[in-house]
Amino acid sequence: MNIVIICLVVSGLFFFFATTVGLLRFPDFYSRMHAAGKGDTLSSLLMLGGLALYEFHEINIATILVGAKILLIVVFIFMASPTATHAITDAGFESGVKPWQKEKTEEQG
């Protein structure tokens, strides 16, 4: 049980780290939003899932309620976070942010 929880939380941390690296290193607005939307959602699922499992260490009505609330948070993050990412990306597209293209760098080089 503990091993599963540690695996979940650590992999969640890894994906959060990957998200941060992606946000800082990717070349343009769209790829950054891609990193933020995907990594954030997955890592919050992993970490909160791990925390919910941790609550189920001893089964009684209180821990089940807390675990169920954490899982509900996961459900709402899964609905809200991709939608927010979509909204920001779409707003960027509407206001004419140009995607990054590889040819440009080749011309320079």
Partner 1 sequence: MIWQIDLSILSLVVLCAFATIMVKDLLSAAIIFGAYSFLMCLLWTEMGAVDVAFTEASVGAGVSTILFIAAAYQTTRIVKARRRGRLASKIIGLGAAVIMGLVLLAAEANFPGFADPNSPASLHVSPYYITQTLADTAVPNMVTSVLADYRGFDTMFETAVIFTAGLAVIAILRRVKRSDLCELPEPYTISAGYEDTIIRFVSRQLVPFMQLFALYVVAHGHHSPGGGFQGGVILGASFILLAITYDMQFVQQRMSEKWNILLGNIGVLIYAGIGFLCLLLGANFLDYSILSKILPATDKIMARSHGMLGIEIGVAIAVMAIVITIYLNLSSHGKLDKGL
Residues in touch with partner 1 (CB under 8 A): 76, 79-80, 83, 86-87, 90-91, 94-95
Smallest separation, CB 87 to partner 1 (Å): 5
Smallest separation, CB 58 to partner 1 (Å): 21
Which of 22, 11, 89 has the alpha carbon at shortest distance from 44?
A: 11
Smallest separation, CB 14 to partner 1 (Å): 20
Q: Which is nearer to partner 1, 83 or 101 (CB)?
A: 83
What is the amino acid identity at position 42?
L
Smallest separation, CB 73 to partner 1 (Å): 11
Rg (CA), the chain: 18
Q: How far apart are CA 42 and CA 75, in angstroms?
A: 12
Q: Are 16 and 75 in contact (CB under 8 A)?
A: no
List, in sequence order, the alpha helices (H) in the chain. 2-25, 29-55, 61-94, 102-108
Q: Which is nearer to partner 1, 56 or 78 (CB)?
A: 78
Q: Which is nearer to partner 1, 64 or 79 (CB)?
A: 79
